[in-house]
Amino acid sequence: MLTESSYDVAVVGAGVVGAACAHYAARAGLRVAVVDRGPVAGGTTGAGEGNLLVSDKEPGPELDLALLSARLWRELAEQLGPAVEYEPKGGLVVAADPAGLAPLHAFAAAQTAAGVVCETVAADRLADLEPHLAPGLAGGVHYPQDAQVQPALAAAHLLRSARLAGAHLRLGETVTAVRTRPDGSVRGLATDRGGIAAPAVVNAAGTWGGELAALAGVRLPVLPRRGFVLVTEPLPRIVRHKVYAADYVADVASASAALQTSAVVEGTPAGPVLIGASRERVGFDRTLSVEVLRRLAAQAAALFPVLREVAVQRAYRGFRPYLPDHLPAIGADARVPGLYHACGHEGAGIGLAPATGLLIAAQLTGATPALDPAPFRADRFPGQEARP
């Protein structure tokens, strides 16, 4: 039987960003519904490594968002408990040769001026932080604010917190339309199970954020950017931090659609080592690429030679929600009153989720936002006017 229920806000997407939006909105006293056509963390969140990073972000709006989120994740870790596997292990970025060390130090200096805590690490001190690193590296930078969570568990426990505050979770329910009034403002959603009456809709649909925006009559140029992760057999803690090569930062900022890989290696509390990272824009092609897996394994082994004899148990892939300027869309959409966006975070959605949720909740309730949301406006892209 098709039914319709009424709420203050409907959040579309049960990944970690949607979960954070629901958490903060429900805790602010709003009646919240979270709707997703799949399970909790069934999209990008479930394919993520759980990185909470400031180390890979240049000074500007995204770094401001990351620093706010780093503080909020520490608070959430205390509130949600050990089940989310929050680990403030820090990050270590390394340069293979002196030519790569100078820009790495310059990047760190700019971050320090913007409020990031970091310290340069001389070549002869790298082994103090990571005893199994390859010899001969030129040096690095240590970022103690970098951390990690288990992303699916984090999303689940944020939603549990929202439900304890009165939110309703509607899984396996597909949104078929964004309903609007004659004046163009949002009045709710139509779904394959009926409808949701709500004067506010939050687009937290991740890689499918452009599709949800289109249902509301606006364009948002979200594209999928595929990535693979290798998972090794359980090991003693041979990798202490999130460790990555300096060229990873350039790959994150690149607009190229071509395949890019750079070594990213980190241990987990459960024992397996996670190995990334690759980026390529190939649509939603889920084909397993042996070439990518081989390149990731080789780069990881070059960084940590001890991994050459370690078995890889599995590999998985996911799709980062990419926007052309590498900034997420967060906040009210001026083109459709009542439509809010919380998507397009690319590979940083897990790390940026709490700050995103807090900004959305502030706009929904009329509270003063913790930082200026203007750089994240959804209508900032040329040609993204509302459709008649």
pLDDT along the chain (388 residues), means of 10: 80 98 98 98 92 96 98 97 95 94 95 97 97 96 97 97 98 98 97 96 98 97 95 95 85 70 90 92 91 93 96 94 96 98 96 98 97 96 58
Q: What confidence score (pLDDT) does residue 248 get?
A: 74
Among 286, 219, 276, 220, residue whose Cα is nearest residue 252? 276
The DSSP letter of residue 187 is: E
Q: What confidence score (pLDDT) does residue 261 get?
A: 87
Cα 193 to the center of its chain, rounded Å: 29
Same fold, 3-49+151-222+325-380 and 91-144+223-322: no
Among 139, 136, 134, residue whose Cα is nearest residue 306? 134
| Domain 91-144+223-322 of CATH type 3.30.9.10 | yes
Among 164, 122, 188, residue whose Cα is nearest residue 338? 188
> Could you give the CA distance from residue 100 to residue 140 in angstroms, rounded to a whole number?
10
Cα 231 to the center of its chain, rounded Å: 19
Q: What confidence score (pLDDT) does residue 387 get?
A: 44
Residues 6+ apart with CB under 8 A from 153: 83, 84, 85
> Could you give the CA distance from residue 44 to residue 224 in angstroms, rounded to a whole number?
10
> Could you give the CA distance from residue 87 to residue 223 in angstroms, rounded to a whole number?
30
The CATH code that applies to domain 3-49+151-222+325-380 is 3.50.50.60
Q: What confidence score (pLDDT) does residue 388 get?
A: 40
Look up residue 286 and give its two tokens.
Answer: 């889920």
Q: What confidence score (pLDDT) does residue 383 get?
A: 63
Domain boundaries, the chain: 3-49+151-222+325-380, 91-144+223-322
Q: What confidence score (pLDDT) does residue 267 get?
A: 92
C-alpha count within 13 angstroms, C-beta hemisphere, residue 265: 25
Q: Is the dihedral of CA 156, 162, 164, 168 positive or negative?
A: negative
> Could you give the CA distance from residue 20 to residue 48 in angstroms, rounded to a whole number?
16
Residues 6+ apart with CB under 8 A from 85: 50, 148, 149, 150, 153, 268, 269
